[in-house]
Amino acid sequence: MPPIKITLVVGTRPEIIKMSPVIKECQARNLSFFLIHSNQHYTPALDAIIFEDLDIPHPRHNLRVGSGTHGTQTGKILMRIEKILMREKPDIVLVQGDTNTVLAGALAAKKLHIKIGHIEAGLRSYSAEMPEEINRVLADHCSDLMFAPTAKAKMALVREGLSPKKIILTGNTIVDAIRQNLPMAESRSKILHKFKLDRQKYFLSTFHRPENVDNKPKLKNILSALGEISKIFSWPIVCPIHPRTLKKIKEFSQAFPAGIQVVPPMGYLDFLMLESNAKLVLTDSGGIQEETCILNIPCVTLRDNTERPETILAGSNILAGTNSEAIRRCVDTMLQRNTNWQNPFGSGKAAAVIIDAILSKS
């Protein structure tokens, strides 16, 4: 059998993190592969240093797309990836998640009759208002192989009429990534000392989704809730600030309340150290809902829906929305829960299952 050539497409920090175990599995098996980075996340703090943190190769191709409207960003990525795929002629293109990069990468490959593998297939929020929902559904329906992280995700694909022969239950590569990187974070990171934090005596918060930060009342409610929570518990809330969030806070003439420790975006190992030692995390991130579940850290999600229902069923996560009082109540609820829930995202072997499936079906 001739050697297979694999293209891995990434564009954002979470994609790089979740794709890193697959990259390492390709390296371990001495497979022919290369990375395309759309640069949808384009600041060094958000993704450039992630390659060093994770000890993975830098991309062969960087599209330097940057920000823009959904149409502009997706169109630029589609045009630029198409040229690379025509030149490189890979056997399969792997995309991960639900970003504009994922949709553009899948469309480019589909139109060139190149096989597509969608990692983290089958996630559904059932909210068409989320651009990510549109991206993930379309990517799934383009794909030749759908790597579903959970049984729920697999069933969502089957219900949509997709062939079970194309769906592989893998577990989530974020489990692989945490198991590979948490020991490094514990040995290398000095972030707790830098910010003068005691383990289990601070909260961690991230929020960046447009539906939250582009909406002044919602953003104001989130900031108010964080201030009240810090005052009630007399603990700091550490908030690595996303550039979009900072921009909107300034634009809406808002301010961080007392007790919120605003810090710049940081590398993955430092963030993993902060996350794994927090008392509780408040976030609107999908990936962080998964990570906190795996790390046995309570999570309060600042959204009305989630494409990670497994975290709700496990008991690690609760949906608070953006009402200030509801957020405070949810924090109280989660702090009273036992944190010995079961991880629903697999054993940390997802990358090996994905590569086995690609090789067996090539």
86-138 per-position pLDDT tens digit: 999 999 999 999 999 999 999 999 999 999 999 999 999 999 888 899 999 99
Residue 1, pLDDT > 70, answer: no
Cα–Cα dist 155/134, whole Å: 18
Q: Please report, for residues 11, 96, 100, 109, the alpha-carbon distance to residue 292 in angstroms, rounded to integers and kept in the order given.
A: 23, 20, 25, 34
Residue 171, pLDDT > 70, answer: yes
Q: How many CB atoms lie within 10 A of CB 359?
A: 13
Contact call for residues 361 and 306 (beta carbons, < 8 A): no
Percentage, residues of the chain above pLDDT 70: 97
User: Mean pLDDT over all residues of the chain?
Assistant: 95
pLDDT (0 to 100) of residue 47: 67
Which class for 89: exposed (0-12), middle (13-18), buried (19 or more C-beta within 10 A)?
A: exposed
Kindly state the average pLDDT of the residues 269-286.
97
Cα 175 from chain centroid? 12
Closest CA to 302 of 200, 217, 218, 215: 218
Residue 62, pLDDT > 80, answer: yes
Residues forming beta bridges with residue 96, ordered by sequence position: 119
Q: How many CB atoms lie within 10 A of CB 227?
A: 18
pLDDT tier, 46 (very low <50, low <70, confident <90, very high otherwise) = low
Q: Which of 41, 61, 208, 242 is catalytic?
A: 208
CATH topology match: 5-172+346-360 vs 181-335: yes
Backbone angles phi, psi at 107, to 5 degrees: -65, -45
Q: Among all chains, which residue has been given the structure tokens 């040995």?
A: 187
Instruction: Answer positive or negative: Cα dihedral of 225, 227, 232, 236.
Output: positive
Kindly state the average pLDDT of the residues 234-262.
94
Q: Residue 74: which residues within 8 A CB-CB, separation 6 or more?
A: 100, 103, 104
Contact call for residues 174 and 294 (beta carbons, < 8 A): yes
Domain 181-335 has CATH 3.40.50.2000: yes
Domain boundaries defined on the chain: 5-172+346-360, 181-335
Residues forming beta bridges with residue 318, ordered by sequence position: 300
Dihedral (C-alpha) 307, 310, 156, 359: value to the nearest 10 degrees? Answer: 100
Q: How many CB atoms lie within 10 A of CB 151?
A: 12
Closest CA to 300 of 213, 311, 264: 311
Residues forming beta bridges with residue 281, ordered by sequence position: 204, 299
pLDDT tier, 221 (very low <50, low <70, confident <90, very high otherwise) = very high
Kindly state the average pLDDT of the residues 148-158.
98
Quick one: CATH architecture of 5-172+346-360? 3-Layer(aba) Sandwich (3.40)
Identify residue 14 by its one-letter amino acid code: P
Q: Which of 10-14, 21-25, 37-41 has the lowest mean pLDDT?
A: 37-41
Cα–Cα dist 84/333, whole Å: 50
Which class for 267: exposed (0-12), middle (13-18), buried (19 or more C-beta within 10 A)?
A: buried
Annotation says 193 is catalytic: no
Cα–Cα dist 291/286, whole Å: 9
Is pTM, for the whole model, over 0.75?
yes
Tokens of 168: 């592989």
pLDDT tier, 284 (very low <50, low <70, confident <90, very high otherwise) = very high
Residue 50, pLDDT > 90, answer: no
